[in-house]
């Protein structure tokens, strides 16, 4: 069973930066099968939405709202996923979740139902 643990959330002022981390653990064979990993967020009263995703061979996808400001990356040697968030805005305030799947292909990388593994979330609050 794959476990994901996020860290790095906090409170910042508008225009500030944060770096989220997601540590993946579990049996090595299970970790080796992970294909897509992503960051999602959920604000109070809103549905969970995709922010950024990365495939095992490195291709990335971003939500339009974060393009040019957020960067997703992974360190396979450390089984860690990152999300560098720059130029943060109040509308970025949400609980941020790390997610992973072993599905070989996702037609839409931000479909929540395609990800069986989720972390507990880390809160990001951006004040104006």
Q: What is the pLDDT of residue 122?
A: 98
Alpha helices for the chain (secondary structure H)? 28-33
Q: What is the pLDDT of residue 22?
A: 98
**How far, CA to CA in Å, does 17 sit from each of 64, 89, 118?**
18, 10, 24
Q: What tens-digit pLDDT sequence spans the chain (128 residues)? A: 999 999 999 999 999 999 999 999 999 999 999 999 999 999 999 999 999 999 988 899 999 999 999 999 998 776 999 999 999 999 999 999 999 999 999 999 999 999 999 999 999 999 99
Q: What is the pLDDT of residue 76?
A: 75
| Rg (the chain; Cα; Å) | 14
Mapped onto helix, strand or coil, the DSSP state of residue 121 is coil
DSSP state of 36: E
**How far, CA to CA in Å, does 47 sit from each of 40, 66, 90, 128?**
10, 17, 17, 23
Q: Is 19 exposed, middle or buried (0-12, 13-18, 19+ CB in 10 A)?
A: middle
Q: What is the pLDDT of residue 58?
A: 85
Q: What is the pLDDT of residue 57?
A: 82
Q: What is the pLDDT of residue 80?
A: 95
């Amino acid at each position: 069973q794959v476990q994901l643990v996020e860290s790095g959330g906090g409170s910042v002022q508008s225009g500030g930066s944060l770096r989220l981390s997601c540590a993946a653990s579990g049996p090595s064979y299970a970790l080796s099968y992970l294909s897509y990993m992503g960051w999602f967020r959920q604000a109070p009263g809103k549905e969970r939405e995709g922010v950024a995703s990365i495939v095992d061979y490195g291709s990335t996808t971003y939500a339009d709202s974060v393009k040019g400001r957020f960067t997703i990356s992974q360190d396979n040697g450390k089984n860690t996923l990152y999300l560098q968030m720059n130029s943060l805005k109040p509308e970025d305030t949400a609980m941020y979740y790390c997610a992973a799947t072993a599905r070989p292909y996702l037609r839409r990388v931000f479909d929540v139902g395609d990800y069986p593994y989720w972390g507990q979330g880390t809160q990001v609050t951006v004040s104006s």
